């Protein structure tokens, strides 16, 4: 008797930006969609910023030129594509009306109002709850009013509870959504994310690499990424290790200066020479330290680990999902320069630079 053919469920990814772009979700979007396509699970990937369904199934050979052309056309005509607020929005409605029944749809960092016109299986991919973002003054919710916050929370609460399951990057994000939305924790799945920088050669884990005491910080938002804390801890380190350096990548303007400070500015991963420069900075560093506040994941931590760098961070947010404490780095229990300087307090820049984790 012939065995029945297994039919794979096709997934529609509705993203917050062009799915195949290296800018969207720092390249995570393209990585996920390409892997779904490779395994023949992808029905399509779309965003309100796509001008049509030409790239629904794949980016195509001319995607980069097509994306640049669309960007220049929008600038020339002074127009922008409005976000989809509902499944009945033009563009999204047209796509869903031709989709097969019970199509699994993953809404990734977008929250359209659900429509009864479509028979779909709905899922959400979220970082943390909107209340958590507002509490920590992050992700664009720094100055949101109480009335706007309540309205947006009610909208998110309603759509979340109409979904079959929720995906997050981190365990912290899963706990945040379960707590604030009263959503079953067993239906929330932290799935992480891989590195968007690829290191081809075998990384140097010789002890001398770590003894150079070159601390690497990578983050555009100096304050939220914990830059002031790194700087204060670095000043304490300099008292014991005068040759130590702190390399800063991300901010447009130098946030601090002084002896041992190396400012590299903002480096874009999708630009060849800037990406190559960033990779060299990772490869030449001794350890990585970007102790973010309210971090739902953080690709730079995964990239640091992929490059053989021990990571100094705090025992909060997404860090425990990425760093194995005392094996691949150190997670401090105290968010202070003193906490980063004491081995018994959970972390020590000096200890890692002296001994390494290679």
Q: Mean pLDDT lowest for which of 60-64, 306-310, 331-335?
A: 60-64
207-355 CATH, one of 2.30.29.30, 3.40.50.2000, 3.40.50.10470, 3.40.190.10? 3.40.50.2000
The predicted-structure confidence for 166-179, as pLDDT tens digits, reads as follows: 999 999 999 999 99
Res 4: pLDDT: 52
**What is the rounded average pLDDT for all residues in the chain?**
89
Confidence of residue 248 (pLDDT cuts 50, 70, 90): very high
Give residue limits of the domains in the chain: 11-190, 207-355
Kindly report the CATH class assigned to 11-190: alpha beta
Confidence of residue 357 (pLDDT cuts 50, 70, 90): very low
The predicted-structure confidence for 4-38, as pLDDT tens digits, reads as follows: 555 678 999 999 999 999 889 988 999 999 999 99
Could you tell me the strand order of the sheet in which 245-249 lies? Answer: 261-265, 245-249, 214-218, 287-289, 311-314, 329-332
pLDDT at 229 over 80: yes
E strands within the chain?
A: 11-15, 42-47, 103-108, 120-125, 165-168, 188-190, 214-218, 245-249, 261-265, 287-289, 311-314, 329-332
Q: Mean pLDDT lowest for which of 33-47, 69-83, 157-171, 269-283?
A: 69-83
Confidence of residue 358 (pLDDT cuts 50, 70, 90): very low
Average pLDDT over residues 132-140: 92
| Widest distance between CA atoms in the chain | 77
């Amino acid at each position: 008797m012939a065995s029945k053919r297994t039919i794979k469920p096709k997934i529609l990814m509705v993203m917050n930006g062009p799915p195949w772009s290296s800018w969207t979700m720092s390249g995570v979007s393209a990585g996920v969609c390409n892997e779904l396509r490779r395994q023949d699970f992808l029905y399509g990937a779309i965003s309100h910023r796509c001008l049509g369904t030409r790239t629904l199934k794949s980016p195509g050979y001319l995607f980069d030129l097509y994306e640049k052309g669309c960007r220049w056309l929008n600038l020339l005509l002074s127009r922008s594509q409005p976000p989809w607020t509902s499944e009945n929005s033009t563009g999204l409605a047209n796509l869903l009306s031709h989709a097969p029944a019970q199509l699994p749809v993953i809404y990734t960092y977008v929250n359209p109002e659900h429509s009864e016109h479509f028979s779909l299986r709905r899922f959400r991919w979220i970082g943390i709850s909107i209340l958590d973002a507002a509490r920590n003054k992050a992700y664009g919710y720094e100055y949101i009013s109480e009335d706007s916050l309540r309205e947006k929370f009610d909208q998110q609460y309603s759509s979340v509870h109409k979904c079959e399951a929720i995906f997050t990057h981190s365990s912290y994000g899963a706990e945040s959504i379960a707590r604030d939305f009263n959503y079953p924790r067993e239906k929330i799945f932290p799935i992480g994310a891989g590195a968007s920088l690829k290191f081809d050669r075998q990384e140097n884990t010789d002890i001398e690499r770590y003894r150079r005491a070159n601390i690497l910080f990578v983050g555009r938002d100096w304050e939220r990424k914990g830059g002031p804390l790194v700087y204060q801890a670095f000043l304490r380190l300099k008292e014991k290790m005068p040759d130590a350096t702190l390399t800063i990548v991300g901010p447009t303007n130098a946030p601090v200066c002084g002896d041992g400070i190396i400012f590299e500015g903002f480096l874009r991963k999708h630009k060849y020479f800037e990406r190559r420069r960033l990779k060299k900075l990772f490869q030449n560093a001794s350890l990585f330290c970007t102790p973010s506040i309210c971090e739902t994941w953080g690709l730079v931590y995964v990239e640091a680990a992929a490059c053989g760098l021990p990571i100094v961070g705090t025992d909060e947010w997404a860090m425990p999902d990425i760093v194995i404490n005392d094996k691949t780095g150190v997670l401090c229990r105290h968010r202070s320069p003193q906490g980063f300087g004491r081995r018994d307090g959970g972390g020590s820049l000096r200890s890692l630079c002296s001994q390494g984790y290679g």
